[in-house]
A and B are shown apart, each in its own frame.
Chain A
């Protein structure tokens, strides 16, 4: 059974704790990268990460693009969305079926 993780700043991810999801509060580029790489090796199936943090480490996000597990999904933080998460979903949809149906 795979687990679900959420990575983000403390304020954004606090609510997820209530759902029973493992939360990792991080700060800064290096810590984010190391956290995501570390938990990717554990049995986490889905990793949610806030857009603000993902923006700092594009090549790390890129690494998990082509892997099946874990899936890295970008979510807005409490400061609002940067729209890159939705862009990625649109792109994935386009790639998969050839046109944007969303």
Chain B
């Protein structure tokens, strides 16, 4: 293929001429260092290339070699537990080769070519297969069965299929269709193209995260999209980590995109030690990390999001429920802005490119619950949870706005809550979930028929509280009626005993749905019983000083196996109130 020549270098952007044989989005090798780059604009024979590595020392006149292929990821056994950079270079083998930091032009295959995997076929010679059919499995980690699928576009009759130990590039199966195709465990897929599915479904099942404020009040759905906007220090990363740890997805892809390196270190240090409540195995066994930390090349940041979601789609196609966390999409948008600026494109709002909204939308639209390709109609789900870091916490900026238009769940983090040490600092007044109705149905059916009623009641108490707080600020607490003061007490109890959750406490970090339901009942029981007492003439301070309130406050630290105690607390509350009424209540006239 024709070799181009560099005529301009501007940071990660390189312009080369003589590229008339190349196409847009082709991967190229820049200079004799073979820096990996991708063509993002073509004008005549001039190609603008975003280079995924440091371009220091590159100058005009140096060659550019086209590969003629789009930027692709390698999909196959070996993805699990690995950590990749933005263009799927494996960081661990690179470290062995080149030391702690990325060196330029280093070439290591994404998936280990030497490692042998034991392949167990699940079909026989002579079977007809279509694209997406599972031909066999590999036990990738102790919890993940990697299903080997017929690549999209391939169909026919199985000619040979072998069981045994193979590397990812060995041929394991021959399919005879229009032409004979040899299937290996390794597939390549261009990152900018969504992997095909048979049919998209409406997400209706909640993604259980064990976080009370999320599951109860603002549930995410399996196959849904959520955004976590929040100012610096409000706990976006901790929320993302909590979701990555406890969400009941079978596979987690965590994209650390432009954030601090030590946040990825946290993941690397913590995850192997935490036991998954479902499998009892280490969480790392179901996790894939994509790291493009803030000191890594900007252009690769743009690709890291796509790399992550393509890998996630691949596992979704196996019928798994996958969740991808992107922290943070704002850094990704800034990478877009930087490239757009260097391309001298007309800037839109705040310098972001005019196509920002469509890029954000295209990314989130790749989420979804879907019937996967293949004749067994298996269902997979891909949940996307993106953090957004609006400067100053003001979500009227373009990235937040573009994101909010697309996503269905909004967890608004609040700096003032974080300042008051209310964590997770999800603001209950401006957050929302559009999956609420669907999830309510599911909860009422599978958890407790009163669940949605209780949730609505708790939420309305919280909303009334904010109205009452305004009156209190103006004229003082004593001007409220006792009923209203009880409402304030109850809302405080919901905030402190239910919404606040300690990510660093062993028993509080994950709350099962059953416990959430009981805890919600417990805090509401206090309000209902308290109201009954007031109606019967008991004084407010007698109700608020009940010793059982301490047990209510401590209920969140009850271990999962002791959640029966919560029912005892509810009973204790009613007995204590009964006692108050018999002692100090009005007489039955």
B partners with A: yes
**Residues in A lying within 8 Å of B, measured CB to CB:** 30, 33-35, 37-38, 41-42, 59-60, 63
Q: How many A-B residue pairs have CB under 8 A?
A: 23
Look across to chain B and name the residue whose beta carbon is closest to the beta carbon of A63. Answer: B539
Query: Top 6 A-B pairs ranked by shortest CB distance?
Result: A38-B586, A37-B537, A38-B587, A37-B586, A34-B587, A38-B589
**Residues in B lying within 8 Å of A, measured CB to CB:** 537, 539, 541, 583-587, 589
Look across to chain A and name the residue whose beta carbon is closest to the beta carbon of B540. Answer: A63
Q: How far is the CA of A25 from the CA of B583 in the complex (A)?
A: 19
Q: What residues of chain A lie closer than 8 Å to B583, measured between beta carbons? A: 30
Q: What residues of chain B lie closer than 8 Å to A35, measured between beta carbons? A: 587
Q: How far is the CA of A35 from the CA of B584 in the complex (A)?
A: 10
Look across to chain B and name the residue whose beta carbon is closest to the beta carbon of A67. Answer: B481
Known A33-B584, A37-B585, A60-B539; further 10 A-B contacts with Cβ < 8 A: A34-B584, A34-B585, A34-B586, A37-B586, A38-B586, A38-B587, A41-B537, A42-B589, A59-B541, A63-B539
A-B contact pairs, 23 of them (CB 8 A): A30-B583, A30-B584, A33-B584, A34-B537, A34-B584, A34-B585, A34-B586, A34-B587, A35-B587, A37-B537, A37-B585, A37-B586, A38-B537, A38-B586, A38-B587, A38-B589, A41-B537, A41-B586, A42-B589, A59-B539, A59-B541, A60-B539, A63-B539
Q: What residues of chain A lie closer than 8 Å to B585, measured between beta carbons? A: 34, 37
Q: How far is the CA of A42 from the CA of B587 in the complex (A)?
A: 12
Q: How far is the CA of A60 from the CA of B587 in the complex (A)?
A: 15
Q: How far is the CA of A79 from the CA of B244 in the complex (A)?
A: 76
Q: How far is the CA of A37 from the CA of B584 in the complex (A)?
A: 9
Q: How far is the CA of A30 from the CA of B581 in the complex (A)?
A: 12
Q: What residues of chain A lie closer than 8 Å to B587, measured between beta carbons? A: 34-35, 38
Min Cβ gap B475→A in Å is 12
Q: What residues of chain A lie closer than 8 Å to B537, measured between beta carbons? A: 34, 37-38, 41
Q: How far is the CA of A97 from the CA of B13 in the complex (A)?
A: 80
Q: How far is the CA of A30 from the CA of B542 in the complex (A)?
A: 14
Look across to chain A and name the residue whose beta carbon is closest to the beta carbon of B583. Answer: A30
Min Cβ gap B241→A in Å is 49
Most buried by B among A30, A33, A37, A60: A37
Q: How far is the CA of A59 from the CA of B584 in the complex (A)?
A: 13
